[in-house]
Amino acid sequence: MKLLRHGPAGAEKPALVDSDGKIRDLSGLVADIGGDVLSDAGLARIAAADLKTLPEVSPGRIGPCVAGTRKFICVGLNYSDHAKETGKAPPEEPILFMKATSAIVGPNDEVEIPRGSVKADWEVELGIVIGTRAKYVSEDKALDHVAGYCVVNDVSERAFQSERGGQWTKGKSHDTFGPIGPYLVTRDEVPDPQNLALWLDVDGVRRQTGTTANMIFGVRHLVSYISQFMTLEPGDIIATGTPPGVGLGIKPEPVFLKVGQVMTLGIEGLGDQRQQTIEAKD
């Protein structure tokens, strides 16, 4: 299933894309796309519904595809070809950092360039959406705790990230730095998350082209590994790293985002995003 949330920010309603590509309102069936709805039982209840009887909607704004996210966990340098472009050795264990949940916005919402920014950057990433509580899970059970997958743009400010005291979170957490969606695609529709094409353009110029096959640590390993350090809860998101082509890695000179540019990005089977950059708001 392709689940989504639509409507004004903070007042989104749950919906689903049916087999004909029509968007059907789920408000009469579930309160939102989050919590227990993300469990296997919750998703099965939606799948069992007669979708043709649900109201068709014209969604307007598409919101973040998941509600109630408590942790937004990111993985650094998780593509062998991206690690190479940064000049760093591939990590021996996953590099983890947190992105503020207040950075989460819809897939086509505007992205703010922070005040004082000189190195704003883009990163298309596969997002894992947790469906059921995961603590100390094994790799062979890891996918049982995954509701599905989504597109993430892990927008970053490299100067804040690396030149302001070494705190990656500073460069990752500005408001709007976490577009997710448009869809939460349930795991049954993604039989192999390690075989998905990713891409990102800036102003129509292709910047990133990659495949999740080049992940150093795959989805199963990441869910299991992270669950050894913290409990993963329904609605938590894991951004799994980015392929090469980020602005920081462009030769001979890095290229960074400025106000008035447009990012378009997507992942095979998971949908596309489009964001225009604007000046940061109060």
**Tokens 């596309």 appear where?**
272
Per-residue pLDDT, 168? 85
- 38-86 pLDDT, tens digit per residue, is 999 999 999 999 988 999 998 899 999 999 999 999 999 999 877 777 7
Query: What's the pLDDT tens digit per position in 196-251?
Result: 999 999 999 999 999 999 999 999 999 999 999 999 999 999 999 999 999 999 99
Are 199 and 235 spatial neighbours (Cβ–Cβ below 8 Å)? no
Whether the pLDDT of residue 273 is over 90: the answer is: yes
Could you tell me what percent of the chain has a pLDDT over 90?
A: 90
Residue 52, pLDDT score: 86
Helices of type H across the chain: 40-47, 80-86, 139-142, 158-162, 219-226
- Nearest alpha-carbon partner for 261 in 155, 125, 116: 155
Which pLDDT belongs to residue 116?
93
23 pLDDT more than 80:
yes
| 3-class SS letters over 181-249 | CCCEEEHHHCCCCCCCEEEEEECCEEEEEEEHHHECCCHHHHHHHHCCCCCECCCCEEECCCCCCCHHH
Give me the pLDDT at residue 87, please: 73
75 half-sphere exposure, CB direction, 13 A CA radius: 33
Q: What kind of fold does domain 72-279 have according to CATH? A: Fumarylacetoacetate hydrolase; domain 2 (3.90.850)
Q: Where are the chain's structural domains?
A: 2-53, 72-279
Tokens of 254: 């890095």
Q: What is the pLDDT of residues 81-114, one digit of tens each?
A: 777 777 778 899 999 999 999 999 999 999 999 9
- DSSP one-letter code for 169: G
Predicted confidence at residue 165, as pLDDT, reads 80
- Residues whose CB is less than 8 angstroms from the CB of residue 260 and which lie 6 or more positions away in sequence, other chains included: 276, 277, 278
